[in-house]
Amino acid sequence: MTNDDKSAQRMTLGDVEIIRVVEWHAPFLPPSAFFAEAGGEVWKDNEDWLAPDHWEPDGGLLVTALQSWVLRSGGRTVLVDTGAGDGRERPGMGPFHQARSEFLDLLARAGVHPQDVDVVINTHLHVDHVGWNTLDEDGQWVPAFPNAQYLIPAADDFHYGPDNAYGNGAQEVDRLIYEDSVAPIHQAGQAVLWDGHHRIDEHLTLESAPGHTPGSSVLRLASGGDRAVFVGDLLHSPVQILDPCLNSNACLAPRQAAASRRRILGRAADERELLVPAHFGGAGAVEVRRKGAGFALGPWAAAGPANPAPRTPRSGDRPS
């Protein structure tokens, strides 16, 4: 895995400060390994804007980012997804197996320390969204963010947990992921399960968008006149904006995933929500427009370097 040399950037929407923390951004897989339904022409036909941030024409590989988002909202610090973790046993998961990560250092460089995080959001419980939920402390997995409430979709917790025998036993790695990255959160009393909708504060609301996993979710931001939606794994590539029926091979319920994708894209276009994904490279966030019965990409959002310098305190900020 390759770290992006611009590992943290920042933008502000309304009263919410947003910091993008990039663990890595690199060529990853051939499209056929991730989008079996997509013909090769979609990449060539859109090469002029997909390359180099989303597609590597010479190698024929998707370019993928693994990134998290930190939101400063209502005097609290909210972390959206926690990457792949460090030193985890992930047999059969390619680069995630025993991967090494500097995620906590990247957060620190952006001015975010584990004890300062008030809320952790897992948009769903896949390997690359929960890995830094915990860390190894003297041979025991413990919460990496000791003061945080972890918001976990109830449907995913059921599906990937012991109640549904770790994803119906489809792959052994699901049990390992749950045991080292989710179960310790329950044991520490920091897990909050939710379903449907969950309001975090006056600016932030979680909403179920199932299909990729049973509990896949998006985070909606509304502050002042600004709107955004953090879509998790609803989309892995911007070509899915052009074709919302295009599912990744990891979507457990493809028809449901496509319906959720179309619904979220339609609302983003109609309400001028900035679409903030988990895995797009480049600028990392984009506007969506309706185009006939489908959608088109609007302008990409620019973000500047994250500044770890002290910020002006707001009411409700916890003293350091």
Helices (H) and strands (E) in the chain, counts: 11, 18
185-214: average pLDDT:
98
Q: Shortest CA distance to 42 belongs to which of 248, 288, 263, 240?
A: 240
pLDDT for the residue 169 = 85
The three-state secondary structure class of 24 is strand
| Mean pLDDT to the nearest integer, 99-124 | 96
pLDDT tens figures, 130-166: 999 999 999 999 999 999 999 999 999 999 999 988 8
pLDDT digits (tens, 9 = 90+) for 40-53: 789 989 999 999 99
The model's pTM is 0.91
Residue 5 has pLDDT above 90, yes or no: no
**Residue 100 burial (10 A CB sphere; 0-12, 13-18, 19+):** exposed
